[in-house]
Amino acid sequence: MTSADRVCRLARAMREFIAALPKVELHVHLVGSASPDTVLTLARRHPHRGVPTDEADLRAFYEFTDFTHFIDVYAKVNDLVTTGDDVAALVVGLAEEQARRNVRYAEVTVSATSHLRAGIAPDELDEALTSSRAEAWAKHGVELAWVFDVPGTWDRDFGVTSARYAVDHRPPGTVGFGLGGAESDAPRRAFREAFAIARDAGLRSVPHAGETTGPDQIWEALRDLGAERIGHGTAAVRDPELLAHLRDNGIVLEVCPTSNLRTAAVGRIEDHPLPRLLEAGVPVTLATDDPGMFHTDLNAEYLLCHERFGLGRSELADLARAGVHAGFASPELKAELLAAITAVEQGS
């Protein structure tokens, strides 16, 4: 066997290991998960909403210049989702894609007020989420949970409307409350009231922070919003005290490497903070963020960590375990997933 053959064999074995590894995903947005085919179907239904109806044009549409441009594109795609049937199609499509990557459990971020603004009635949204979640399990064996988030400054009351929806409607599977969108004009502390409403009702706090800003926004998410996990959080590498706090308190960062590159939050993969976070002992789980827009999937994120950061089987299995521990699935499902990860890691 030549050295080239050996390299190819090892690469194939790693791909097979990643494909077999049971996974959870804790940071994926419903609208951003939509496949190009799904978005094209919706765009052709609504050709005057500013989203291309040609596949090549759509791919060019998804070439983001910076984070602000990404948010603008995301808003246009979101406005294509105007009925409960549209929402259900996104949910079932996401579950199908997750099943192909051996994702057994996913916490899906839903920006409810964005859908309400697009014309979907609250009860219609509730029914769409409830029925499609059941279908996702029945057809694809993927358990979905909901994280209702504040879409940044799109909510004019700093998330109170989003929190009231999550608390008052709370469709089955609702586990958390989040905060997305641009950070520069939306300091985390401004959403304190909304998160207090959600946390008082038993929802878990999982805001984005430190994606395009500095460590100060992660501190605000922790201190003002009671964050139990942080979406992205890559700016933590700039603050040794923060790294120690995250490590010592077991606060998991939901890291999305391809997303960070595609939105220009990180300039080059060589500069991505993930290896430094792991070296500092910060618990990390991998996620895709908006896989339909970023042309990625969870297996690709694991493979990237192997090929670019040198993570081996045990390190990748640890990332999968970190996701299980950090998620809000039932203890029974967590135990099942942890056992399955160990079985694959040990080759049984």
| Packed helices 298-309 and 3-20: angle between N→C axes, nearest 10 degrees | 140
Give the type of residue at 84.
G
pLDDT the model gives residue 46: 86
How confident is the model over 75-114, as pLDDT tens digits? 899 889 999 999 999 999 999 999 999 999 999 999 999 9
Alpha helix (H) residue ranges in 46-190: 55-61, 67-78, 84-100, 112-117, 122-140, 160-169
Mean pLDDT of 311-317: 97
Among 50-54, 252-256, 286-290, 295-299, which stretch is predicted with the lowest mean pLDDT?
50-54
Q: What is the DSSP letter of 196?
A: H
pLDDT the model gives residue 4: 67
Mean pLDDT of 309-336: 97
pLDDT the model gives residue 65: 87
Question: What are the structural domains of the chain?
Answer: 20-345 (3.20.20.140)
Q: Tokens 């057809």 sit at which residue?
A: 139
CA dihedral 319, 323, 184, 263 (to 10 degrees): 60
pLDDT the model gives residue 348: 56
How confident is the model over 144-189, as pLDDT tens digits? 999 999 987 667 789 999 999 999 999 999 999 999 988 888 899 9
How confident is the model over 117-153, as pLDDT tens digits? 888 999 999 999 999 999 999 999 999 999 999 987 6
- Choosing from 25, 97, 107, 211, which is the catalytic residue? 211
Residue 307 bears catalytic tag: no
For the chain, the average pLDDT equals 94
pLDDT the model gives residue 137: 97
